[in-house]
Structures are given as structure tokens and as C-alpha cells.
Amino acid sequence: MPHKQLRFAVIGAGMAGILAAIRLKARGETFTVFEKTAKIGGTWRENRYPGLTCDVPSHAYTYTFEPYAEWRANYATGPEIQTYFEHVVDKYGIDPAIRFGSEVTALDWDEAQAQWTLTLASGERQVFDVVIAASGVLHHPRMPEIAGLDSFAGPVFHTARWDDSAPIDGVRVGLVGCGSTGVQIVTALASRVKKLVHFQRSPQWIMPVPYFTFSDAERDAFRADTGLIDAIRFGDEYLGNVRRFTDAITDIDGPLMKAIEEYCLQNLENSVRDPMLKEKLRPDYRAACKRLIYSWSFYDAVQNPAVEVETGRIDRVEAKGVRMTDGTLHELDTLVLATGFHADRFIRPAGVTGRNGLTLDAFWARRPTAHYAMTLPGFPNFFMLNGPTGPVGNFSLIDIAERQWDYIDQLIDVLRQGKGRAVVPTTAAHADYEERRIAAAKTTIFGSGCSSWYLDAEGVPASWPWSYDKFVETMSAPKLDEFAIS
């Protein structure tokens, strides 16, 4: 079989970019990873807030080809995960292929040459046959539209821009936001602060999960026999939970969703003692409508006398603190904004221009979309990992990215084998996918009536709306008749 040597650009050195680099290196491909910062790690590099943990079980949050005996507990901390990715980059010798401090600002498709021109912030240009966009999802902090933020006398910052110099211990801290991030920060700060005012616009359902550490002896055993790790990460407890979760969110009146709701309700009823606090913490929407929060310690932390849950409406921020619409002033020393991310950016603000001058902004004017979350009509030889409409929820995005890579790699084979110089999904195939996806997505729990970053501008969940097994099957082989090969 003839093999065409292709030039690959991988954008981003986070979890997905590292994966792409390892896979490309293993095949002897020519590639460069462009990383805008000075360090690998993506979301695990950027987020350094106290309490940062991954609520996907640690052994499941690893590459399939690189099990890790060193996890200290069944849920890993952010710094541990960063260390894992640094270990992987080192072990697989990826570092020399990464260009740090290299922000990609533009990608322009040249139809005549069937190649992409990549432009860096420095103005430097390079050409590539294939672009792998591994630039992540949650990396543009969303600042809240609260008047007077600039007038606060103390430090005020977004959780993804943690200010290490800001006072925390023994002082009065305000925390806006009650997503996965805000909840983890409450658990970490409750015992450190003089006072923590947690501004909760919408409370969250909390799924109780066990937390346990691995002993030195267990880690020794994992090192000696990685089969013990495989039994955890590929075993029924984890994968069974993934299957049950996706079945629940796609069958919202079925018994599995009812079980999730009951777990969360009983957790609230049985864990929170003060009836007034219990009502403040009781959501008015269905469990798992927003990203379900798995926590073993939030309800304990939030009942710490140092924590005050404020469910009133914020009027403005003043020099001394946060003023509520009822006139109350919460005097604060530090203000933390756990207000989430612009989840519709993906590779943007880089300007991507495909065939016939079609820009990504224009293609995504209504909503970000990609054919099975990876390829886009009008953008040949352009592949996204963890792109729009992929699976979101409480499971490992590493698994998702690996399966997406297997699909993408088969499309790249078309180019490698010289069957064509450009591969791109047809407009008709993508329109059919989107029509089916949107219809199904509206019926998932994410579309059951709450606000969340899962929803696009029209309120449609921007997610994979079918089962995990259907995702696995779909990723196993692309349907080549859905693609134009030229």
C-alpha cells in the first residue's frame, strides 16, 4: 500500500493534543504540536484552584495505553493529573515535537495545494496537509456581568486564573458560582477561611460518592501488575456506571434516572441538618440537568459554621464587598469568580477559513457543530478532538478522545494511501446527523429545563444524545460514503 508522508499540525498540548502526538509518533508521521503557553497540560495546567480534583475515578482518567500506579486516591487532584501528563510526555518523547509559546492565530485552506497555511501570533507561517484541533473546550473564562467588579478593593479573579497572592486563610472570602468548580472550592476553603460567603444563583444536586485512598501496598501491587489497574478501569463498576449514566440521561423517565434522582434527594435530605439551609440547597430542576456534581464532602463543608450560603440576588460589587439587591453588604477581603467558561469557542479566536472562503465563525453562526463532533463540511483535512456535540457528562474525556482518534485515523488513512488529497464530510451527511442529533438532544435530561453550559444559544444541548455503546460503535469505523474524497 503506498504511503504518503503527510505533514500534521496539532493544536494544543493538553490531554487530546498529547494523545494525537503519541499516536502520530508511533506511526512515524511528521508533525508539530503548537502550544500557546510554556507548559503542557491544558485544563490541568490552567486550573490551580484549591480543591481541584477530577471527579472521574483516577484509574479511569488515564490513557488506555498508559495505566498509572501512582494515584493516591480513587479521585485524583489536579496537580497529580498534571504530573501524570508530564510523565506521559516524557515517557513517549513528545516534548521535542512541541513548540511552546506558539499561539495559532489563523488557519487558511489552500484548495489548489490541498494544504493548510497556519499562522502564528508572531506572524510566522507554515503549511500542513492535516490539522488536528485539540484546543479544548473550557478554556475561555466567563466573567459574570456584575456591576462594579473593578471597584472591589481586594483581589478579584476567575477560578482559572487563580491568584496565589490573594489572602484566603483566616480572612473573609466571597465565592460566586456553584458549578463543579465552585463546589470543589467550598470543600477546600471552608476550614481555612474566617468566613466564606457562597453566592449560589442556582443550587446543585449532589451525587454522593465514596472517597478512599490507595495504600503504599496497593500502589506497589499496581506497579507489579497493571492487570489490577485494568480490572478497575475496564471493569463493570466504572464502565457499568458510564453505561448506566448515559442510559439514564437519554431515558429521562426511566428507572436509572429515577435512581439518580433518588440518590441525590436522599443525600440532601439526610446530610443537611438545618431545614433553612436544606431549602436553600434544594434545586428546582431535575438531577443531572446541569452537569451532575459528584462529591463526598460538599454537604459537610457547606455546613461548616464559617460558610454562609447566600441565595439572594447580587446587585453590585463595591470596594468593601458584594451588595445584594435587598441592601445587605457582604464585606469581603477576596472575591473568587467560579462562573464557568465560554463553551462555544473551541479553537477560536483563531480564524479558520476553509473552502471558498468559508469561515468557522460563519459556519458556526447558529451553533458550533461538527460531523460526529470531529469533522466539518467545507473544512477538508481538519479534525477536532473533543469538538462540539461530543459526549459530555460524568465520564473520562480521555476515553472519548481515544475513540475519536481511532475514527479520525481511519479517515487520515484515505490520505495516507493516496486515495485522495482531501477528505471532508458532505453537507448532506452532516445535515442528516445534526437533524437526528438535535431531535434526540432535546429529549435528554440536559434539555429538561435548566440553564447550563451544555446548552447552545438556542437552548439545545450541544452533546452526544445517544448511548455510550452507540458512541463506541460509531467511533469504530467512519462511514466513508458520508465523506467527499477529492
Q: Total binding residues for ligand NAP by CB under 6 A?
A: 27
Q: Which of 138, 173, 272, 438 binds ligand NAP (CB under 6 A)?
A: 138
In terms of Cα–Cα distance, which of 76, 79, 44 is closest to 58? 76
CB of 54 to ligand NAP, least distance (A): 5
Residue 140, number of CB atoms within 10 A of its CB:
16
Angle (CA) 381-384-389 rounded to 5° is 130
Residue 451 interacting with ligand NAP (CB under 6 A): yes
Distance CA 81, CA 61 (A): 9
Report the residue number, 16 or 56, with the smaller CB distance to ligand NAP: 56
Residue 180 interacting with ligand NAP (CB under 6 A): yes
Record the cell numbers describing residue 132, joined without a space.
Answer: 488536528
Q: Which of 297, 339, 444, 474 binds ligand NAP (CB under 6 A)?
A: 339
Residue 425 interacting with ligand NAP (CB under 6 A): no
Q: Residues 12-41: x/- map of binding to ligand NAP (CB under 6 A)? A: ------------------------------
Residue 202 interacting with ligand NAP (CB under 6 A): yes
Residue 104 interacting with ligand NAP (CB under 6 A): no
**What residue type is 360 in one-letter code?**
L
Residue 386 interacting with ligand NAP (CB under 6 A): no
Residue 48 interacting with ligand NAP (CB under 6 A): no
Q: Which of 144, 148, 155, 351 binds ligand NAP (CB under 6 A)?
A: 144
| DSSP 3-state of 241 | helix
| DSSP 3-state of 382 | strand
- In this structure, what are the phi and psi dihedrals at residue 113, rounded to the nearest 5 degrees? -95, -10
Distance CA 20, CA 379 (A): 19
Number of helical H runs and strand E runs in the chain: 14, 21
Residue 54 interacting with ligand NAP (CB under 6 A): yes
CB of 17 to ligand NAP, least distance (A): 18
In whole angstroms, what separates CA 360 from the centre of its chain? 21
Listed ranges 173-181, 257-265, 378-386, 404-412: which one lies at the site for ligand NAP (CB under 6 A):
173-181
Beta bridge partners of 195: 172
Beta strands 329-331 and 321-324 are antiparallel
Q: Residues 295-324: x/- map of binding to ligand NAP (CB under 6 A)? A: -------------------x----------
Q: What share of residues in the chain are helix, strand, coil (percent, to 5)?
A: 35, 20, 45
Residue with cell 490541498: 114
CB of 82 to ligand NAP, least distance (A): 14
CB of 424 to ligand NAP, least distance (A): 30
CB of 56 to ligand NAP, least distance (A): 6
Q: Which of 195, 201, 320, 323 binds ligand NAP (CB under 6 A)?
A: 201
**What residue type is 184 in one-letter code?**
Q
Distance CA 283, CA 409 (A): 43
Residue 179 interacting with ligand NAP (CB under 6 A): yes
Residue 340 interacting with ligand NAP (CB under 6 A): yes
Burial of 464 (C-beta count, 10 Å sphere; 0-12/13-18/19+): buried
Q: Which of 14, 57, 67, 177 binds ligand NAP (CB under 6 A)?
A: 177
Q: In the complex, which residues of this chain contact ligand NAP (CB under 6 A)? A: 53-56, 138, 144-146, 176-182, 184, 199, 201-202, 291, 314, 338-341, 451, 453
